[in-house]
């Protein structure tokens, strides 16, 4: 009997409470930084599994530590927050929840990114590991973080002393449910998720009567020139083959057709896969904005402000190879190559704070038959609902079993007593 079969032997027993918990979490989603109810459910399950539990880390964050003698120390992470989306699935456990956001606006709330699944899988994996201590050695550090969707939940836990609280770890692992066939897992070495930055740009003109443009500096024209010129950054300043996205998502100026306004505001979004490319793009934006304002004779310098930063997620080759090998042993043909995604994540803020390598993999959540039909018809983009859609909800099984198993199998690649990896250097504590 291999180590992972020993640990997974209780999956039937664990699945029973997991399915119930998942439906409950799905029906009770909470916005970023408001994950109190979820955190309570997490803490009570962690206690039941015999973990040392820390609550209120970086707001609503929860940490569970499962100690089992000497051996490697593995950090596993799940995110807890939901999104301001009105659920449109017909599931019996669909959310009808609403909440008030930090600006005082009432919003519908839905687990439209599958974080309820991540929480349930990680709690299940801890229960399984806790129930088979003879099969492994070391320490599991389970981090349940708030506010992934805002990109500041992981950072908040770090700033609140996470690394001192749990001590050193050797490796960090994380997974996300994606619109791929349920039952599959997907890994990728190197950059896997882009970094993201948003920028607010305010350009100043000199307002006046729409009939007297010669007496004004028109910020609408300046903003329009900036939007067009920004299209050359990716096309003309980056090497062909280096992926990046620069989108102007919002452009606002003026109130009336015959008034030339005082200013215009642009909201930009940038996605890149390396620090170097990020610097090239952000530098080019600033240069273009300032130069267009100067070209128009703007009376004041423009204002540029970065916000909502997400780091690039860069999977370590050795850690990824070790997890991929363990997945292939266990899942066989269900292991796929993960595409590079233009989405972004703040998970890597955790391993960066601990100074350790990491990997981030995908698990499928789409009904496999539906997926195959859509793929055969060339209609994947039309027929398979994606994360953040009001229709996004993983099929409960085999998604839940796969995500739970994937965490156990990946963690045991460091912790398992029978793994060849046991000879590899793991810190002893
Ligand atoms: Zn999301
Ligand atoms: Zn997500």
Residues having C-beta closer than 5 Å to ion ligand 1: 113
Map tokens 């050695």 to a residue. 137
Q: Which residue in 396, 386, 402, 398 sits closest to 23, CA to CA?
A: 396
Average pLDDT over residues 5-32: 97
What architecture is the 3-192+312-415 domain classified under in CATH? Answer: 3-Layer(aba) Sandwich (3.40)
Residue 429 has pLDDT above 60, yes or no: no
Task: Measure the CA angle with vertex 51, ends 360 and 316; round to 5°.
Answer: 20
Q: What is residue 419's predicted lDDT score, i.e. its pLDDT?
A: 56
Number of H helices, E strands in the chain: 13, 18
Bridge pairing between strands 244-253 and 335-337:
unpaired
Cα 58 to ligand 2 centre (Å): 19
Cα 365 to ligand 1 centre (Å): 14
For the stretch 251-287, pLDDT in tens is 999 999 999 999 999 999 999 999 899 999 999 999 9
For the stretch 163-191, pLDDT in tens is 999 999 999 999 999 999 999 999 999 99
pLDDT category of residue 342 using cuts at 50, 70 and 90: confident
Q: Which residue in 200, 204, 220 sits closest to 298, CA to CA?
A: 204
For the stretch 53-73, pLDDT in tens is 999 999 999 999 999 999 999
Cα 390 to ligand 2 centre (Å): 14
Q: Which CATH number fits domain 195-310: 3.30.70.360, 3.40.190.10, 3.10.105.10, 3.50.50.60?
A: 3.30.70.360
Cα 112 to ligand 1 centre (Å): 7
Cα 83 to ligand 2 centre (Å): 9
Q: What is residue 421's predicted lDDT score, i.e. its pLDDT?
A: 45
Positions of CATH 3.40.630.10 in the chain: 3-192+312-415
Cα 118 to ligand 2 centre (Å): 9
Cα 315 to ligand 2 centre (Å): 17
Cα 140 to ligand 1 centre (Å): 25
Residue 116 has pLDDT above 90, yes or no: yes
């Amino acid at each position: 009997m291999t180590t992972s079969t020993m640990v997974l032997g209780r999956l039937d027993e664990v699945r029973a409470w997991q399915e119930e918990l998942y439906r409950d979490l799905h029906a009770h989603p909470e916005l970023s930084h408001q994950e109190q109810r979820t955190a309570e459910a997490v803490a009570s399950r962690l206690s039941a599994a015999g973990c040392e539990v820390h609550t209120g880390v970086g707001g609503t964050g929860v940490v569970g530590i499962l100690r089992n003698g000497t051996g490697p120390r593995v950090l596993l992470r799940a995110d807890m927050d939901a999104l301001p989306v009105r659920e449109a699935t017909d599931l019996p456990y669909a959310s009808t929840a609403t909440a008030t956001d930090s600006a005082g606006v009432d919003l519908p709330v839905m687990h439209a990114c599958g974080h309820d699944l991540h929480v349930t899988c990680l709690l299940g994996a801890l229960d399984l590991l806790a129930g088979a201590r003879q099969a492994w050695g070391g320490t599991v550090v389970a981090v349940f973080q708030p506010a992934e969707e805002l990109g500041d939940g992981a950072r908040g836990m770090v700033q609140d002393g996470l690394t001192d609280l749990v001590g050193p770890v050797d490796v960090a692992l994380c997974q996300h449910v994606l619109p791929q066939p349920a039952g599959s897992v997907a890994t990728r070495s190197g950059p896997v998720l882009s970094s993201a930055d948003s920028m607010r740009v305010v350009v100043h003109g000199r307002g006046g009567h729409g009939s007297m443009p010669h007496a004004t500096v028109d910020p609408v024209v300046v903003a329009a020139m900036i939007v067009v010129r920004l299209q050359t950054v990716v096309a003309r300043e980056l090497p062909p083959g280096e992926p990046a996205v620069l989108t102007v998502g919002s452009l606002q100026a003026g109130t009336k057709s015959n008034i030339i306004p005082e200013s215009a505001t642009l909201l930009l979004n940038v996605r890149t896969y390396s620090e170097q490319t990020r610097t090239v793009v952000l530098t080019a934006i600033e240069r273009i904005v300032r130069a267009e304002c100067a070209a128009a004779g703007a009376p004041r310098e423009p204002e540029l402000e970065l916000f909502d930063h997400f780091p690039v997620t860069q999977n370590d080759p050795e850690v990824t190879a070790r997890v991929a090998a363990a997945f292939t042993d266990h899942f066989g043909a269900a292991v796929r190559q993960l595409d590079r995604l233009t989405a972004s994540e703040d998970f890597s803020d955790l391993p960066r704070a601990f100074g350790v390598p990491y990997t981030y993999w995908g698990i499928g959540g789409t009904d496999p038959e539906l997926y195959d039909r859509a793929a055969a018809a060339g209609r994947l983009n039309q027929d398979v609902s994606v994360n953040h859609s009001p229709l996004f909800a993983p099929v409960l099984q085999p998604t839940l079993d796969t995500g739970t198993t994937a965490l156990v199998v990946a963690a045991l690649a460091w912790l398992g007593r029978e793994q060849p990896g046991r000879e590899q250097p793991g810190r002893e504590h």
